[in-house]
Amino acid sequence: MPNLNVNKAAFVKSAASHTQFIRSELPSIVFAGKSNVGKSSVINRLLNRKNFARVGASPGKTSHVNYFLIDEKLYFVDLPGYGYAKVSQSERERWAKLMEAFFSEAGNIDLGVMIVDARHKPTADDVTMAEWFKSSGRPYVVVANKLDKLKKSEVDANLSLIRQTLTLPEELLLIPFSAEKGMGRDMLLTEIMKML
Ligand code: GDP
């Protein structure tokens, strides 16, 4: 069984355009989600860090693709958050162009990690992002974050709504997760380790 020392993580670079994407033989684990869903918190939780990937950075201003090298074995690729209402039209278009470039390039994705809010029905933007992962032809998982904010009695219905709204195939892994409490971490790490 391969091992991964998640404590050995380094920020590599921030790509503002496709010319700066990292092309590497190492597996790329690609994280996407709307602004404020807790994407940085999920990454930090995976890496046992508090402030590694930024948390609470001004939403919408993170229109870069950020690369982190983990144990010199794989990359965590942090896609810019989407869906923040106050973003200008030009920023929105820049984001869309960057994402189109990213998803159109074979080799940018080995595993997709699509993060949604466990509390809410996925947004239209979430649906679009899930479609991009689907059409990438690469494996992906969906993480339902902020599960700690749900009552136990609400969990099943919310997970079903996410599955239904994103039209996830039955075999697709939907991981109940709490970046705050650590729930789901082992399951997500197991999927990531399969890429080694
Ligand atoms: P990002 O914009 O997607 O990177 O989101 P952040 O990681 O910055 O998190 C946005 C906010 O949600 C912060 O205030 C986090 O503390 C909070 N948050 C993130 N994950 C969780 C979680 O699992 N549970 C709870 N209760 N709050 C969370």
Average pLDDT of every residue of the chain: 94
The answer to whether residue 169 sits within a structural domain is: yes
Would you state the pLDDT for residue 84? 83
Nearest to 122 by CA among 87, 73, 162, 75: 162
**In a domain? residue 96:** yes
The tally of domains found in the chain comes to: 1
pLDDT-derived band at 60, boundaries 50, 70, 90? very low
Residue 1 inside a domain? The answer is no
Ligand 1 centre distance from Cα of residue 147 (Å): 11
Residue 26 within any structural domain of the chain: yes
Q: What domain range is 84 assigned to?
A: 9-193
User: Is 4 a member of any domain?
Assistant: no
Nearest to 29 by CA among 152, 114, 135: 114
| Nearest CA, atom 26, ligand 1 | 146
How far does the centroid of ligand 1 lie from the alpha carbon of residue 4, in Å? 25
Residue 3 maps to a domain: no
Domain of residue 15, CATH code: 3.40.50.300
Q: Distance, CA 37 to ligand 1 centroid (Å)?
A: 6
CB 84 within 8 A of CB 59: yes
Each residue's pLDDT tens digit, 90-147: 888 999 999 999 999 989 999 999 999 999 999 999 999 999 999 999 999 999 999 9
Q: Is residue 2 part of a domain?
A: no
H or E segment to which residue 12 belongs: strand 9-15
In a domain, 13, yes or no: yes
Nearest to 81 by CA among 47, 125, 134, 133: 125
The CA 120 to ligand 1 mean position distance, Å, reads 14
For ligand 1, residues with CB inside 6 Å are: 33, 35-41, 55-56, 81, 145-146, 148-149, 178-180
